[in-house]
Amino acid sequence: MLSRQFIKRSQVGLALLVLLAMAGCASGPRPVADGQEGGAGQGAQSQETRDVPPKALTLYEQAVSSMASGDSIDAELRFQEFLLQYPDFAGAHVNLAIIFAARGDLQAAENSLTDALILAPRHPAALNQLGMLLRRQGKFQEAESAYLKAITASPDYALAHYNLGVLNDLYLRHLDAALMYYERYQELVGEDKQVTRWIADLKRRISATQRTANVTE
């Protein structure tokens, strides 16, 4: 039987399926506000957004606003309308993937991420979201590969470090690696009290494992 701690931490990780920013939105998924980074949710302009006329960009921003407020149906329609005009805008595909994943339509989410990664193979938010989908399907090695590609593309992309911590802690059971990724996540975002507790727990478990190994030698 799974421990309560495992279940709680796993549930936190699953909640991140609908996040591509550092903090959640209580009323719905947090969208990719920017076309490239998709991490900070602060609206920094990428090359993608600079190439979009103001009228079309307004439509994108309206879709982002609807998504952030929890109206995923309206957001989906607006992103689809936007993509009819700008099908090469990777961020819109990533946001659709977030919507589909939150709805439980993993195939549609995967299709949208495939579209995004064809357009921008090093898109960190798309790679991170792909990792979450793969982990959800039990494909842990493939998930790890996707997360690692995300932090290779954007070393300070904190959410991918967090997800690597969860993956190594709960699924791969690589405690030293999990500790490293959680600590890097903390360095990037500041102290997260919940992650601080996980780090302390990991250190105790690693120490206990080392003591056991010493006894059996």
Torsion 61-63-64-69 (CA) sign: positive
Domains in the chain: ranges and CATH: 4-216 (1.25.40.10)
User: What number of H helices and E strands is found in the chain?
Assistant: 11, 0
Backbone angles phi, psi at 22, to 5 degrees: -80, -20
- What is the chain's pLDDT, residue by residue, as a tens digit (217 residues)? 444 455 455 444 433 333 333 222 223 344 553 333 333 232 223 445 566 678 778 888 999 999 999 999 999 999 999 999 999 999 999 999 999 999 999 999 999 999 999 999 999 999 999 999 999 999 999 999 999 999 999 999 999 999 999 999 999 999 999 999 999 999 999 989 999 999 999 999 999 988 776 555 5
CB 132 within 8 A of CB 164: no
Q: How far is CA 69 from CA 21, 44, 209, in A?
A: 14, 20, 45
- Tokens 């039990």 sit at which residue? 138
Name which of 110, 32, 103 is nearest 68 in CA terms. Answer: 32
- Tokens 């579209």 sit at which residue? 115
